[in-house]
C-alpha cells in the first residue's frame, strides 16, 4: 500500500514521506479498514519532531473513516465493505491506505453522516466525552474553563461540557482574532491568556488544559474547593511547571492527567462506547465539528505544519486515493 510515513524527526515538512509500506493485517480482535479519510491532529506534529517515542518509519493518523477490509479472529458484527469510523490511536496508521484498530474502537458510519466529517470526530470528540465525564466527573451546573478553546480539542470540550449540563463555560485563547470564534462555539465568555492574571480566584470547578506552561499554574488559582484541573497535553512545550502537593491538599483541589491513547489501551471498551456516542452526537447535529480543509494525503506535511503553527481553525481532513 501507499502511506505517508515519518522517516526522520526533522518536522513535518522534511520528516514525512509518501511511499510504499507493508499492508497491515488484522490480528485477533482487530479490524482492518480501507481508509478513505483521516483527521489531522496536533499530536502528529509531536510525532514528527520525535517528542513521542515511536520506531521509524512510522505511519501516523489517529482517526479515520473508510470501509471494512478484513476481520480478525473473534470479530463479529461487521462485514467486509461496511462503512465505518475508527479510532486508530493505539497504533496509528491512518495516513496509510489501510489501517488496523481494535474492534472496540470501530463503529458503523451512521446513515447521512458525511465520511469526511466523520474522520474528524474520533480523537477530539471522544477525548472531550471521556475526559469530562469519566475523569473529571463533571456534574450538572458546574463551571468549566477551557484553554485553546478555538482549537480542535477546545472546540469539542466546550460543547461537550454544555451537553453534560455545565452551568458556565469559558474559553481561553492567545489570539484576539479568535475571541468571536470561541463565542460562536457556544462559550459564555472568551478570555485572552493574559487575562488569567487578573481573573477572580476560585470560580471554576473544572479547568481543561491541553497547552501547559505558566497558564496551567495560573489556572490552579481559579479552581474552587473540589476543583479538578485536567492536564490534556503540552502544546506550548514550555518549561515544566512545579505544583505544590501541599497546596493541593490545603485547597482541596486536584490535577488529573488524561491521555486518550494510554486510556484506549487499557479501557478500549469504555473508550469505544464514547466513540460511538461522539459519532452519533455529530450525526444528529447535537455536537458540531467544523472541517475547514480537505486535502489529498500527499499534502499531509503542509497540513501538520499548519496545525503545529497554530494557524488553523477547526479540523483538516486528508483524503486517500485507493488506486
Q: Which residue has the cell 485477533?
A: 28
Residues of the chain under the 70 pLDDT cut: 322-323
The domain limits of the chain are 2-123+275-319, 140-258
Pairing type for strands 223-231 and 254-257 reads parallel
| pLDDT score, position 322 | 62
Cross-strand pairs, 168 = 143
What angle separates helix 122-129 from helix 268-284, to the nearest 10 degrees? 110
- Going by C-beta distance under 8 Å and a sequence separation of 6 or more, which residues neighbour residue 60? 4, 6, 44, 47, 48, 92, 94, 95
The CA-CA-CA angle for residues 304, 308, 310, to 5°, reads 120
DSSP helix/strand/coil, 169: strand
Predicted pLDDT at 240: 78
Instruction: Check residue 66 and give its pLDDT.
Output: 98
- Mean pLDDT, the chain, rounded, equals 95
pLDDT tens digits, one per residue of 243-270: 889 999 999 999 999 999 999 999 999 9
Q: Buried (b) or exposed (e) across 246-284, using 16+ Cβ within 10 A?
A: eeeeebebebeebebbebbeeebeebbbbbbbbbebbbe
Which candidate, 84, 88, 111, 83, places its Cα nearest to that of 99? 88
Fold for 140-258, please state it: Rossmann fold (3.40.50)
Q: How far is CA 45 from CA 48, 127, 221, 287, 302, in A?
A: 5, 18, 31, 26, 11
Residue 174 DSSP label:
S
* Assigned fold of 2-123+275-319: Quinone Oxidoreductase; Chain A, domain 1 (3.90.180)
* pLDDT confidence of residue 239: 73
Alpha-carbon separation of residue 246 from 100, 256, 304 (angstroms): 45, 16, 40
pTM exceeding 0.85: yes
Amino acid at each position: 500500500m501507499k502511506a505517508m510515513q515519518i522517516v526522520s524527526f526533522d518536522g513535518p515538512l522534511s520528516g514525512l514521506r509518501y511511499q510504499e509500506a507493508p499492508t497491515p493485517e488484522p490480528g485477533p480482535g482487530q479490524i482492518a479498514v480501507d481508509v478513505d479519510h483521516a483527521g489531522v491532529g496536533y499530536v502528529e506534529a509531536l510525532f514528527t519532531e520525535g517528542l513521542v517515542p515511536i520506531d521509524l518509519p512510522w505511519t501516523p493518523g489517529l482517526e479515520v473513516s473508510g470501509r471494512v477490509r478484513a476481520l480478525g479472529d473473534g470479530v463479529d458484527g461487521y462485514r467486509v465493505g461496511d462503512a465505518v469510523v475508527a479510532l486508530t490511536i493505539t497504533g496509528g496508521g491512518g495516513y496509510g491506505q489501510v489501517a488496523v484498530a481494535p474492534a472496540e474502537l470501530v463503529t458503523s458510519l451512521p446513515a447521512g453522516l458525511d465520511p469526511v466529517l466523520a474522520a474528524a470526530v474520533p480523537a477530539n470528540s471522544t477525548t472531550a466525552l471521556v475526559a469530562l465525564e469519566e475523569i473529571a466527573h463533571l456534574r450538572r451546573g458546574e463551571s468549566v474553563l477551557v484553554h485553546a478553546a478555538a482549537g480542535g480539542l477546545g472546540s469539542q470540550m466546550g460543547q461537550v461540557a454544555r451537553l453534560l449540563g455545565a452551568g458556565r463555560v469559558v474559553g481561553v485563547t492567545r489570539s484576539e482574532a479568535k475571541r468571536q470564534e470561541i463565542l460562536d462555539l457556544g462559550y459564555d465568555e472568551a478570555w485572552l491568556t493574559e487575562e488569567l492574571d487578573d481573573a477572580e480566584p476560585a470560580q471554576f470547578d473544572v479547568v481543561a488544559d491541553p497547552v501547559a506552561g505558566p497558564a496551567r499554574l495560573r489556572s490552579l488559582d481559579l479552581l474552587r474547593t473540589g476543583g479538578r484541573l485536567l492536564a490534556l497535553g503540552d502544546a506550548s512545550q514550555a518549561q515544566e511547571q512545579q505544583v505544590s502537593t501541599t497546596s493541593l491538599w490545603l485547597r482541596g483541589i486536584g490535577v488529573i492527567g488524561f491521555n486518550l491513547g494510554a486510556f484506549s489501551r487499557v479501557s478500549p471498551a469504555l473508550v469505544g462506547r464514547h466513540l460511538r456516542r461522539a459519532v452519533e452526537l455529530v450525526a444528529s447535529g447535537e455536537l458540531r465539528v467544523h472541517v475547514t480543509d480537505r486535502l489529498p494525503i500527499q499534502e499531509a506535511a503542509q497540513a501538520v505544519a499548519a496545525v503545529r503553527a497554530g494557524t488553523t481553525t477547526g479540523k483538516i481532513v486528508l483524503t486517500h486515493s485507493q488506486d
